[in-house]
Structure 1
Amino acid sequence: MSYIGRFAPSPSGPLHFGSLIAALGSYFQAKSQRGQWLVRIEDLDPPREMPGASKLILETLEAYQLHWDGEVVYQSERHDLYQDQINTWLQSGQAYYCQCTRKQIKAAGGFYMATCRDLALTNHDQCSIRLRMNHPIYQFEDKRHHVLTIPTQLADEDFIIKRRDGLFAYNLAVVLDDIDQGITEVVRGADLIEPTGRQISLYKMLNQSPVSYLHLPLALDKNGQKLSKQNHAKAIDNRNPKPALLDAMSFLGFDINEEIRAAAIGEIIQWGVEKWHLSQLPESTEITPMFSNRSV
């Protein structure tokens, strides 16, 4: 089977140093295997989106000469795919309506205890939709970190596939999209290790073979927080991409000599494709980069 990877950012803001690491890692892994690298905009949550962010993200990828294959896919155009699967599960009894609020679940200990599983709720207003967990995943194989473990209570939980506000849940959408696009491996940040268990369980429920997974180390700020849009990580520079590019590649374990540092962006990217190997990646899942403020 030919390799198909992807980069799937959410348009809640511009790309920052942490998202550049995810983009580069997924790109190098795909291209080093002569595979395809797809881009999918995960615009599932309109209230959290920043106007113009989708366009800005694509412009940033172009500035860093990370050229994608095929057409960009937008999750906002795929609602029918998600709803059709939910309807199938509701009809079979695999999914059910749940009236429990986050506050109630937190008060009960923080994990959902299948309170509504057998209630057969008919008043669907203000209800989420949950999936019966028939295939809990307690551990999985990661290409760099080997066997990773999922907390038992989290693995056993009937999780939400459609929210109370009518928005589709990330775990459902990402798996259905990866299956539909023929993705063979997912390369992304280590903040998504725990959701991986739920996503593998979805593959099992859909009678599909799960993809393989590679989780890259997270870049932390000086306070130990993950670099993210929620934590106000600054956008990487589209006009002068080389400093952030070199810093991100160093973060990913490349030993970059002065000749490569002086090269053009396209040459640096091609060198990265040729030199990429998984053993160069740090073993830790969280790292505070010791770079200048130009990148982080």
Structure 2
Amino acid sequence: MNASETGKQPYIGRFAPSPTGPLHLGSLYTALASFLDARHHHGQWRLRIDDLDRFRILPEASDQILFILDKLGLYWDGPVYYQSQHIADYDAAIDRLYQNGMLYPCSCSRKKLAQSGSVYPGFCRKNTHTSQQPYALRIKTDAQPIHFIDRLQGKIQQCLPQTTGDFIVKRKDNIIAYQLAVVIDEQQQHITQVVRGLDLLDSTTRQLYIQQQLDLAQPEYMHIPLIVDSHGIKLSKQTQAEAVSAHNPGQTLWHLLQKLNQHPPSELKHASAQDVLDWAIPHWQVDKLKKIRAISNQID
């Protein structure tokens, strides 16, 4: 029986790695949480490759990511969605925002922006036309508070003029900014559930704001604790996090279930990946991650 037959909204989650290097443990940790959340609710799990930033993309990284997910039994539903194949969709959203008077060109230098702090003070807000020099596109924000209920973090509220100011939706190098691209991606893939790291919590209100301007549906959000190294720093490509190996996939999944506070049985530590997932899906309990902001990556 599918969702349309029961009258319930489809439960569709996703994982969206960036192919700037091999899949590392921090990304796999998020992927597993998203996968289990979708499968536990008998939903779909979709895969997106965030490959817009052509200056940082490694050609072989996408295939490596797909290989590792396949080896660990994290099978996705439908075709892989590549951001680079949806430029026209992003441009259409930009055009619509422009026509609605929401965007303006910004030619501020990095030096000028650095001196102004983390909140953009609106230097270029009165610009009505583009200039000869490179420019970004910023979206006008207003004082209306943006709020949502995060499934783990509770009620979140921000007033964008106070936290970010008018923010960029298209960069000076003509690359669509993450905040706009991800909004269009979620709509294109019909995503209803977004599971991602706590470091992205603050960006959610900007995405909600764009959704409001474009009259798009709002997914539910859940931001899970970060997995960090011995210095308390998030595992990432920038900190040279070790790439995930396809060797002993079941043990890797068991280790990550420990990090996700799911307490898998010790006898599954050396089981196959499929056996580990067969246990993890029905036993997934997201509430076990409440009130936790970071999880150490020390070996169990």
Q: Tell me, yes or no, whether TM beats 0.5.
A: yes
2:61 corresponds to 1:61: no
1:152-231 → structure 2 map (5 Å cutoff): 153=161, 155=163, 157-231=165-239
* Paired residue type of 1:254: Q
The residue type paired with residue 165 of structure 1 is D
Q: Which residue of 2 aligns with 1:22?
A: 30
Cα gap change, 1:170 to 1:135, in 2 (>3 Å): farther
| Whole-angstrom CA distance in 1 between matches of 2:67 and 2:107 | 42
With structure 2 as the length reference, what TM-score do the two structures score?
0.92
Deviation at 1:154, TM superposition (A): 5.4
How many Å apart are 1:70 and its aligned residue?
A: 0.2
**What's the CA shift for 1:175?**
0.4
Match of 1:91 in 2: 99
Q: 1:33 aligns with which of 41, 57, 63?
A: 41
**Inter-partner Cα distance in structure 1 for 2:174 and 2:253:** 39
Contact conserved, 2:251 with 2:273, CA < 8 A, in 1? no
The question of whether the paired residues in 2 share the 8 Å contact of 1:137 and 1:197 is answered with no
Q: Matches of 1:193 and 1:136 in 2, distance apart?
A: 19
Distance change in 2, residues 1:276/1:53 (3 Å) = same
One-letter amino acid matched to 1:188: R
| 8 Å CA contact 2:146, 2:208 repeated in 1 | no
- Partner residue in 2 for 1:118: 126
Q: Secondary structure at the match of 2:55?
A: helix
Say whether the 8 Å CA contact 1:138–1:155 is kept in structure 2. Answer: no
CA distance in 2, matches of 1:173, 1:136: 23
Between 250-259 and 147-156, the greater mean CA deviation after superposition: 147-156
Sequence identity percentage: 37
Partner-residue secondary structure (3-state), 1:160: strand
Q: 1:2-54: CA deviations, max 9, x gaps? A: 10110000001111111011100000000001100000000010111123000
- Structure 2 counterpart SS, 1:47: coil
Question: What does residue 112 of structure 2 align with?
Answer: 104
Alpha-carbon distance between aligned partners in 1 of 2:114 and 2:88, rounded to the nearest angstrom: 32
CA contact (8 A) 2:19 2:57 kept: yes
Q: Is the 8 A contact 2:50 2:83 kept in 1?
A: yes
Q: Classify 1:211/1:169 alpha carbon distance in 2 versus 1 (closer, same or farther; 3 Å).
A: same
CA distance in 2, matches of 1:61, 1:32: 18
Between 145-154 and 41-50, the greater mean CA deviation after superposition? 145-154
Cα deviation for residue 242 of structure 1 reads 2.7
Return closer, same or farther for 1:127/1:136 CA change in 2, 3 Å cut-off: farther
Q: CA RMSD in A?
A: 1.7
Report the TM-score when normalising by structure 1.
Answer: 0.93
- Number of positions where the alignment pairs a residue of Structure 1 with one of Structure 2: 292
Structure 1 unaligned spans of 5+: none
1:79 is matched with which residue?
87
> 2:249 — aligned with what?
241
- Indicate yes or no: 2:248 matched with 1:263: no
The farther-off stretch of 270-279 and 33-42 is 270-279
Does structure 1 residue 274 correspond to structure 2 residue 276? no
Alignment CA distance shift 1:72-1:124 (3 Å) = farther
Q: Which secondary structure does the structure 1 equivalent of 2:156 belong to?
A: strand
In the superposition, relative to structure 1, how do residues 110 and 259 fare at CA in structure 2: closer, same or farther (>3 Å)? closer
1:6 maps to which of 4, 11, 14: 14
The offset of 1:101, in angstroms, is 2.1
- Amino acid of the structure 2 residue aligned with 1:123: S
Q: 1:160 to 1:144 in 2, by over 3 A?
A: same
| Match of residue 44 from structure 1 | 52
Please name the residue that 2:4 is paired with: none
Q: Matches of 2:22 and 2:282 in 1, distance apart?
A: 28
Tell me if the contact between 2:227 and 2:235 (Cα under 8 Å) persists in the aligned partners.
yes
Instruction: Answer whether contact 1:171 1:199 (CA < 8 A) is retained.
Output: yes
